[in-house]
Each structure stands twice: as structure tokens, then as C-alpha cells.
Structure 1
């Protein structure tokens, strides 16, 4: 698979010829609405076997081979050049495909308004072939230990038809917010806990869920060990019934990290108790905060590297967003919230406003600025093929279990193609 960044003046025909591909193949892979209106800085994935690399200043055959996990002698052989021949800046080398490694892929899906819309069901159909788990969000705990189920529509059938395991996501959401008080009730009352676990097991059996996923957030710090003990109890019950159990963890970089979202999440305990965990490594850039990358590679790496000191890589699923944000400038704390946008819509906005797309190499994220019809300036950060590939490279470098996406519903066709190019998706 080739990731191509559109250059000034390039056309879709020129790009197709550059890689011996076709316009139809590129348009289909990227779901281009208007292939004759490419944006400078836009990335395209070109569905070819292997990829091409243009030699940069300072490159050697050895460093290029190492970058792609290849033997430099084999790289020289496939390109019919000598291992001692100096490389020229701008020289094109063919990079043969490398073996894909196994990975588990999860995606949350959040039906709103009491139904699963046709658009959301179609999003699930598109993604499910590339998923290990499909996670409807969420089964909400009630104060008496009962569960309020989300609308499921045809999601169980979609999961079954594509070999995706249903994940039953359990949350302490109350009136749209994570509730510390609800968490306290559940984690300090054995009778309510036991009733809750009875209801979880019944719901999992009724809808054919195979993993139970606890996403309990905003818990009071003093309930840290209560939460750990609840998870131990839940694991015993769920394992006896043949279910997996997983948890979601706030993005911490140390065991002593302060803050109401972090202190009750004990990485070491979750790593020992759960079958796997999802690290919520996104929302550095968020709707109510200042403009920045949603999941910059540096902070993501810091969280994952801390997690690796507390649990094995085989238990870690790295969180990844499938969206970006459009901020109105100037940013004012407590003012207008940023609007979530899909990568596809972000590119359309750039095209409509005739602005180039830029790439922040430190954050490994894409951004641009534009001025709307009312004269207001905007800053947009979103994901593209480069930023996703950077995260996949991190998953492979650190040997992680896989990737977990928040959330389906905003189109990003390049992501799913890159999953298949990088990983052999495990089907449970």
C-alpha cells in the first residue's frame, strides 16, 4: 500500500501513472467524491503491492532497509542495485511488502436517539470485516444494579455475519455524564454489585456478547481499591460463565498521576485482573479545549510506555480516534465548542476554502486553517493515512495487542485499508 501526499499541480491521472495504478482504483480506495479537486497536502492511499520510497538526504541502503524492517541486501537485490552503490537523493526504491502480524481491533459504536440509524448500521457493516470486537456504547448501570441497554438494532447480526465478537460495554453514565456518586454506590455495596453482575451475565447471554468491558470513569480516588476488588469479583463470575473481561483506562503516564479521571484507575491491578485493557489515548485535543492534535504521537507513546511498566504488551489495546475537530478562532475557554469532523469532511472543507493541508511531524497529525463565510478563522486537526500509519508503527514496535477505535460513524476509508495492509486481524 502506498501513501501519497498530493503535491502542487498534481492530478489524479498523474498519481495513478506514477504508481502504475488506475484512476478507478485510487478513487475507490479513498472514496473520492471529486477526484478532479485534489487538495495540496491531502493523502491518498494507492492500493499496490508493496510501496515506493524516495531517497532523502542522509539516507543509506542500510537505514532505509531498517526503517521498513528489511534486510539491506534483499532491498538492493529487489531494486537491482549494488549494496556499495551510493544512493542519489530523490532516487525511487521499491519496498516489498513485509509479513503482517496478528492484531486485535475493536471499535466502539454509539447509537443515539433511541435507535441505530441506517447510516450507523452501514458504518458497522463497512468496519466489521476489519474488527475483532464491535462494542455498542453503552449498557448503563442503574443505582439498583439493573442495566439500561442501548439500542442494538441489527448490530448483533452484523457482528455475527462478519465474525466480530460483541463487546458489552458497562458504564457509570448517568444523564449523559460519568457519575462519581453512581460509582460509589456500585463499588461499596455488595448486594448491588451482585445484582449488577447477575444482570450483566443475563444480558451477555441474551445478546450473545462474549466480552464484558468495564468503562467506569470519574471515580473518587478513595475507591481505587474498591474498583480493583469489584473487578476481581467480576472476573471470577465472568470467567466461570466463559466470558472475557476487559477494561478502559484513562491515559496515565505514572502510577501517582493526580486528577479525578486518573487516580482510581490502577494500571497494574487492571493488567493483572483483566484479559486486556483499552488505553484511551485520545482527546488531548478535545471539543472544549484549545486547538491541537487529538492524539499526538508523543503523548500517546508516553502513556503506552508507562502501561508497559505495569502490564504485558499482549494485554494493551491502544486507543485511536476516527475523527478530528474544527475550532473557531480565537479559542476562548468556556466558549464555542469545536465541531467533530470526519477525515473525509475535513478534506472537503479544505477543498471548499481552497487551502492547503499541512502535517505536523512532531505530533504526526494533520491540520489546516481557513476563513468561513462570516470572516471567522478556523483551525482544523484531523487524522490521515500518515498519522494512522505512525500509530500502527508504534503498535508494531512495542508489540501491543492491537487498536481500539472511538468511534464508528464518521467515514475514514483509508484507515480500514491500512489495517488490512499492516495486520492480520484476529477473529475470535
Structure 2
């Protein structure tokens, strides 16, 4: 069950009400101080022996960098089906660029726990997505062939289950060529017993304007990939005004459009494992929100005596607090908002959900997933 903390509640009193041991509530929710709660806080309360014995119906994937702390990654193993290792890049000459840290330990750890590790390919250059790299790979057949051959070699050599492509800011004139490239990659991978998936920006119509959207054709990419990861997050973002990172009403709009273009059984709905802390007043072009973990958000609320509220329209928790004479506004995810997203994925018969990213702890989330 999900228990919402009331004023005056303690972990001990909640344990008596729910007949769940204090130590289990503390452990499952990773409470740093078992007697320090905040009104409005959502706790996952699981009776002893009530944990999922196996993964749920929904397939679960998540991105992680090779420098992730092993204990944080291992938290997700009880729910995870696929590990997206971020990321390999490539040069303008078509040479594959491995991540700075060794990825082999993640690949081996994933297989050991029954999880499929996927190589993530990105057009990173100078710390960001470079659509000129995308332009080269989709327009130059020689470079394209070279990258795909190197990908196949690395997948075989390192022990990956396949390749997941995450290209963003694709030029509109490269839309068809990008989908064709995905089709060639899928064919190559499938012929050799591997998978090829693709991540797409959160569109709500085929004609949606903006560089993030115009280069992505949902229907063609759906036809040319084994699965499609909907990046349904970042409505609330670093430079934008305070709001939910993944408001359920906005996520629903994307899913409703996606299922008209792509079979539901191919779709993976993205979920953010993070939140943002904005200092007010918000000034466009000046204010920069700080990225925080979901458990970190609760700690901030506890430390500053905040009351956690819940938006029914976005199905997301939020609060404000005062520090050093300044007002802050925080939006994040908790088990209530996660549950709403999982129910949405089930409602539309999607194949699963995927997390950006696994780098921050959120044990209650992984326990909740076993129920879906």
C-alpha cells in the first residue's frame, strides 16, 4: 500500500497502523532518519513476504553510465529486464568511440542477474548531441556501413544483447534517411541474433514543429526498430519554469498519439528518476534549476520543514521551502506518481517502461514495479 504521512505521524506509529515492522518501512523507503518524516510524504508499505517474487508483466529498462555506483545499480535488478549502457559515440570518419569508463563489468553483472545489456549509440560531440554527426552517418553510406560493422563487432565481442539508438535534434531533411538507417541496423542486428531499438522525442502529432521533433517519423521508426522508447519527460527542465518533469496529462497525450503510429507492444514509456529544485522568482534565461534525486527531494523537505503537496492534474508531488531568505520550488517523483504512470502504460497495453536514469537510488520504485 501507499501511505501518505500525516502531521504527527512517526515511522513507529505507521508501523503499528499497518502491522509492518519499522525496520522494513525504513529499509524499503531508504529513510535516513526513521523518526523524521514530513506531512504529504508518500511511503511504500510492503508487508514482510509481500515483495514481488518475480518481475512484473511490464518490461522494465533503464539507462545508466558505467560510473554508476554498483549498489545503486543492483537496487534496480529486482525489476529490471534491460540495461541501457550509456553510451558509445562515433566520429565523422565512422570510428566507434567507447564510453570513458569500462562497460564490461555492467554487461557481465546484467547477464548474471538475467538482464539484457544494450549498447546505447549517441551522436555526442563536445558534451552534447551533434546533428552534423547524424547527417554524416545517414547520408554517407560508406561511413554508415563502417559504424554498423563496428557496432556488430563490439556487440559480439563485449557480450551485448543489441543496440539502442538515441539520436536527438535530427535535421528535418534527414528524417527519412534516419529511419532507413535504423532499418538497416535492425536487419543487421536481427540477422546475427541481436536487437535494435530506438529512442524518440515525445511527439503529440506528425506535424509537430521544433528541431527536437521534426526529424523523427514515429511510423517509419516503429517499422524499422524492434522497440521504441518514448522519452516522456523534461516538460519541467533545467531552464524552464517550475513544473512536473513528467506530468501525467502530457505523457498521456504522447502515448495516445504514439499508439496510432506504432504497435503498443513495441512501445516503452519513459519515466524520470529525478526532479528539479528551482529558486524563485523564475526568470527565463537566468534561472537554472538544480537536478536532484527523488529521495533527495524528500530529504530537502524534511530538512526545511516543508509540506509535500500533490498535483491531481499532473499526478506529481511538489513543495516550496525557504532557505537563506530565498523561496525554492521542487517537483519530483514518488511512488504515487510512478504508480499513475505504470497504470497508464498498462491502460494502453504498452510493452513496458524505461527509466532515465538509474544513477540515483529509489528502492521503493523498484519494489512497486513488481506489482505491475
Task: Quote the offset at 1:21 in angstroms.
Answer: 1.5
Task: Quote the offset at 1:23 in angstroms.
Answer: 1.0
Task: Quote the offset at 1:163 in angstroms.
Answer: 0.9
**Structure 1 equivalent of residue 225 of structure 2:** 274
Q: Secondary structure at the match of 1:366?
A: strand
Task: Quote the offset at 1:49 in angstroms.
Answer: 8.2
Task: Quote the offset at 1:358 in angstroms.
Answer: 0.5
Matched residues in 2 for 1:294 and 1:212: separation? 27
Matched residues in 2 for 1:25 and 1:121: separation? 22
**Structure 1 equivalent of residue 20 of structure 2:** 21
Cα deviation digits, residues 57-83 of structure 1 (max 9, x gap): xxxxxxxxxxxxxxxxxxxxxxxxxxx
Q: Secondary structure at the match of 1:308?
A: helix
- 1:167–1:213 CA contact under 8 A, matched in 2: yes
Q: Secondary structure at the match of 1:421?
A: coil
Instruction: Give the alignment's TM-score, normalised by structure 2.
Output: 0.96
Matched residues in 1 for 2:174 and 2:215: separation? 6
- Greater displacement, 277-286 / 346-355: 346-355
Task: Quote the offset at 1:110 in angstroms.
Answer: 2.2
Matched residues in 2 for 1:153 and 1:191: separation? 29
Query: Aligned to 1:405, which of 355, 362, 366?
Result: 355
Unaligned runs of 5+ in 2: none
- 2:169–2:212 CA contact under 8 A, matched in 1: yes
- 1:135–1:167 CA contact under 8 A, matched in 2: yes
**Structure 2 equivalent of residue 107 of structure 1:** 62
Matches within 5 A, 1:36-115: 36-48=35-47, 102-111=57-66
Matched pairs, number:
368
Structure of higher CA gyration radius = 1
**Structure 2 equivalent of residue 63 of structure 1:** none
Query: Aligned to 1:376, which of 322, 326, 344?
Result: 326
Unaligned runs of 5+ in 1: 52-96, 423-428
- 1:11–1:36 CA contact under 8 A, matched in 2: yes
**Structure 1 equivalent of residue 282 of structure 2:** 331
**Structure 2 equivalent of residue 230 of structure 1:** 181
Mapped pair 1:246 → 2:245: no
Q: Secondary structure at the match of 2:57?
A: strand
Instruction: Give the alignment's TM-score, normalised by structure 1.
Output: 0.83
Per the alignment, do residues 171 and 408 of structure 1 end up closer, same or farther by CA in structure 2, a change over 3 Å counting? same
Q: Secondary structure at the match of 1:326?
A: strand
User: Which gives a bigger RCO, structure 1 or 2 (Cα 8 Å, sep 6+)?
Assistant: 2
